[in-house]
């Protein structure tokens, strides 16, 4: 019973929207709430609203498998994701909220000669960028993760693995709640159940505010941080985005005692797995093959993922699954995010995280706040501009995305 728990204060305020704000962030996921937090904390801008059509943290932030790592191939990505890992390391203290960041290591399996070569290329590139990553033999992989089947006759033989020891997991809800509480304390209005239905512009083109289900709200600057619905929102301002939205699914098992000590991903077989502090196995799949805005995905995708999990970890064959769910992920052609100014003055966009943006939450929020406050990118996100799809300066992270698209 929770009867003993009394006198809990509310974690954030529930204000009605003001007539106008200096900045409105659309989307109260981790990235949007974090952006508001860093705008207030690092740039002294506190006349901010964060709007969400649902409840805060109810989008991909609350639906993901929480894998955190920074083992991407290119220099730009190493800069961005490593900035984030460093912020994760002190985030609980910074927010005075336990985000349960656990650096238990992320191991990525290689099942073919191609996988081995690709993993080793990533390891070398990572180390040159100061990102920890090391090669493990199949025996070393098994020592790190005892449930793994490394027998030579396995359907998906393990030929080795890349291990990032500083990688791990965190508690997804706590990240949203921690940013929300601190931002609200600093004066940010978080307005839930408030869907944005239009983006208003002056005759000279710049943003003037938003149409919402709670009325018209004025804004000098607007940051769209809406994950799978970004193209829908940006179209309201006449900006066409290089994004496709797909369902991505995950599931959890019944809880069991601690048995799985790390995070393991296998892109080749479309499965990744860790164990939550409650004891559930947290398992994720590849994206559906079809574009969709439905937050449920296809059954055969889950079936395939569970087949792979049972092959890789035979001891889980008799486990029962408890829940499955889906989120809508916004995928760019080069599998890298967009953190950018837009052709519309006063309109900024943070999107394209696809299957892999949870790990970037604090880093992305931090540099996006800079971009909005200064009206120019931080040096860390300079390469992640919208223009790259016109200039061709792509950051192709399809392999490091590590989830089948």
With CB under 5 to 8 Å by kind, the binding choice for 402 among ligand FAD, ligand PYC, none is: ligand PYC
What would the DSSP string read from start to end of 217-236? Answer: EEEEEEEE--GGGHHHHHHT
Return the closest-CA partner of residue 250 out of 157, 355, 126.
355
**50 — phi, psi (to 5°)?**
-115, 120
What's the min distance (Å) between Cβ of 233 and ligand FAD? 5
What's the min distance (Å) between Cβ of 130 and ligand PYC? 19
| Pairing of the two strands 189-191 and 271-275 | unpaired
Place of tokens 């650096």: 103
**The two three-digit tokens of residue 254, written as one number:** 């019944």
**61 touches ligand FAD by CB under 6 A:** yes
From 185, 195, 307, 311, residue interacting with ligand FAD (rule: CB under 6 A): 195
With CB under 5 to 8 Å by kind, the binding choice for 52 among ligand FAD, ligand PYC, none is: ligand FAD
**26 touches ligand FAD by CB under 6 A:** yes
**309 touches ligand FAD by CB under 6 A:** no
What's the min distance (Å) between Cβ of 108 and ligand FAD? 12
> Which residues, 329 to 348, sit near ligand FAD by CB under 6 A?
329
**402 touches ligand PYC by CB under 6 A:** yes
> Which residues, 298 to 357, sit near ligand PYC by CB under 6 A?
355-356
Running DSSP on this structure, what letter comes out for residue 10? P
Q: Positive or negative CA dihedral for 37, 38, 42, 48?
A: negative
- Candidates 70-78, 108-116, 120-128, 355-363: pick the segment binding ligand FAD (CB under 6 A): 355-363
Residues in the chain: 405
**77 touches ligand PYC by CB under 6 A:** no
Return the closest-CA partner of residue 88 out of 72, 106, 68, 104.
68
**17 touches ligand FAD by CB under 6 A:** no
From 17, 21, 36, 53, residue interacting with ligand FAD (rule: CB under 6 A): 53
From 87, 107, 174, 196, residue interacting with ligand FAD (rule: CB under 6 A): 196
What's the min distance (Å) between Cβ of 164 and ligand FAD? 13
**The two three-digit tokens of residue 206, written as one number:** 């710049």
Give the binding-site size for ligand PYC (rule: CB under 6 A): 9
The β-bridge partners of 145 are none
- Candidates 51-59, 154-162, 252-260, 392-400: pick the segment binding ligand FAD (CB under 6 A): 51-59
**CA 207 to CA 203: how far, in whole Å?**
10
**158 touches ligand FAD by CB under 6 A:** no
**324 — phi, psi (to 5°)?**
-130, 155
Query: Which lies closer to ligand FAD via its Cβ, residue 40 or residue 176?
Result: 176
Q: Is 310 exposed, middle or buried (0-12, 13-18, 19+ CB in 10 A)?
A: middle
**67 touches ligand PYC by CB under 6 A:** yes
**CA 134 to CA 116: how far, in whole Å?**
12
**275 touches ligand PYC by CB under 6 A:** no
Return the closest-CA partner of residue 384 out of 79, 124, 36, 131.
79
**271 — phi, psi (to 5°)?**
-150, 140
Return the closest-CA partner of residue 152 out of 136, 137, 138.
138
Question: What are the residues binding ligand PYC (CB under 6 A)?
Answer: 65, 67, 69, 272, 284, 355-356, 402-403
Q: Kindly list the residues in this chain that would bind ligand FAD in the complex (CB under 6 A).
A: 26-32, 51-54, 58-61, 63-67, 195-196, 225-227, 229, 233, 248-250, 284, 327, 329, 353, 355-359
């Amino acid at each position: 019973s929770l009867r003993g728990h009394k006198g809990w204060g509310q974690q954030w305020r529930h204000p009605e929207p003001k007539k106008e704000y200096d900045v409105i962030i659309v989307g109260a996921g981790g990235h949007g709430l974090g952006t508001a937090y860093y705008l207030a904390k690092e740039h002294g801008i506190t006349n901010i609203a964060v709007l969400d059509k649902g409840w805060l943290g109810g989008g991909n932030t609350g639906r993901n498998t929480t894998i955190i790592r920074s083992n991407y191939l290119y220099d730009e990505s190493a800069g961005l994701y490593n900035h984030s890992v460093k912020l994760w390391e002190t985030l609980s203290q910074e927010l005075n909220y336990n985000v349960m960041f656990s650096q238990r290591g992320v191991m990525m399996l290689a099942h073919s000669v191609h996988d081995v070569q690709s993993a080793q290329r990533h390891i070398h590139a990572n180390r040159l960028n100061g990102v920890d990553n090391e090669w493990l033999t199949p025996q070393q992989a098994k020592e790190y993760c005892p449930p793994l089947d490394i027998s030579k006759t396995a359907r998906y033989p393990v030929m080795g693995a890349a291990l990032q020891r500083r990688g791990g997991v965190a508690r997804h809800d706590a990240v949203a709640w921690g940013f929300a509480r601190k931002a609200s304390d600093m004066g940010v209005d978080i307005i839930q159940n408030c869907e944005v239905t239009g983006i208003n512009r002056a005759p000279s083109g710049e943003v003037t505010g938003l149409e919402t289900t709670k009325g018209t709200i004025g804004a000098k600057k607007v940051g769209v941080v809406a994950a799978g619905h970004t193209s829908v929102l940006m179209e309201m301002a006449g900006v066409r985005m290089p994004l496709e939205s797909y369902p991505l699914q995950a599931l959890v098992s019944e809880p069991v005692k601690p048995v799985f000590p790390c995070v393991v991903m296998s892109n080749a077989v479309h499965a990744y797995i860790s164990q939550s502090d409650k004891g559930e196995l947290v398992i994720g799949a590849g994206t559906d093959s079809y574009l969709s805005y439905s937050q449920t995905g296809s059954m055969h995708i889950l079936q395939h993922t569970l087949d792979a999990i049972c092959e890789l970890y035979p001891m889980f064959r008799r486990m029962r699954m408890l829940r499955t769910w889906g989120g809508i992920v916004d995928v760019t052609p080069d599998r890298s995010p967009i953190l950018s100014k837009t052709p519309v003055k006063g309109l900024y966009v943070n999107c394209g995280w696809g299957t892999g943006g949870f790990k970037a939450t604090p880093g992305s929020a931090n540099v996006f706040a800079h971009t909005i406050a200064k009206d120019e990118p931080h040096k860390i996100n300079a390469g992640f501009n919208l223009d790259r799809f016109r200039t061709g300066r792509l950051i192709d992270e399809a392999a490091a995305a590590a989830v089948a698209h």
